[in-house]
Amino acid sequence: GTKIIDKSHDQDTTDLHKCITYIWDFAPDANKSTLCILVAGALGGRYDHEMGNLNVLYCFSSLRIVLLSDDSLIYLLPRTHHHEIHIQTCVEGPHCGLIPIGAPSGSSTTTGLRWNLNNTEMRFGGLISSSNIVVGEKVTVQSDTDLLWTISIKKL
C-alpha cells in the first residue's frame, strides 16, 4: 500500500533535494511557516554527499532544515535575520562553529561564544570561526551573509 515515487530520471538534484521538495509540496500551507525538517544521518560518509546536503540548505534557505549526525548538527543562518540560538547544554555543545561557505562575510557579530566576532570579516582562505566554544545557553549571530551554524552533540 506504499506509494513509490521514482525521481531517478532527475540527475540534477540530490535525493535529499527531492525529499525536501516533496515535503514542501505536500505540507499544508498553514504549517509551512513553522516547518522544521530534521535530516538524520546527513553528515558523515562521502564528502561529496555531505557537500550536496549543505547545498540543499542554501537551495531551501527559507526553510528550517537541520542536518544531524552522531557528533554534530548543522543548519543555515540566513543573513536576513538576527539569530538567537538557544543552546540545550544537556545535549549539545560546547564546540561550535560559524562557516561562511556560500560567500565571504564582510561583517559578522556574535555574543555567547568564547571567541566572539565583532563586525569580523570571515572567508575561506582567511578567518573562519571553527573550534569555537559556547559559554552559555544563548548565542546571538548577525551577519551580512548566510552562515552555517554547527555545534557538537554530546554522547549520552
**Would you say domain 1-70 falls under CATH 3.40.50.11540?**
no
More confident residue, 90 or 11: 90
What is the reported pLDDT for 31?
74
Does the predicted model carry a pTM greater than 0.85? yes
Superfamily (CATH H level) for 76-155: Thiamin pyrophosphokinase, thiamin-binding domain (2.60.120.320)
Question: What integer is the mean pLDDT of 65-74?
Answer: 95
CA distance to 76, 110, 112, 143, 144, per residue, from 119 (Å): 19, 9, 15, 8, 10
CA distance to 80, 93, 98, per residue, from 108 (Å): 13, 21, 10
Ranges of each domain in the chain = 1-70, 76-155
Task: Say how far apart CA 61 and CA 7 lie, in whole Å.
Answer: 22
103, HSE (Cβ side, Cα atoms, 13 Å): 11
In sequence order, what are the residues at sequence separation of 6 or more whose Cβ sits closer than 8 angstroms to the Cβ of residue 3? none
Beta bridge partners of 98: 129, 149
Say if residues 134 and 94 touch (Cβ distance below 8 Å): yes
What is the reported pLDDT for 7?
67
Mean pLDDT for all residues in the chain: 91
The domains spanning 1-70 and 76-155 adopt the same CATH topology: no
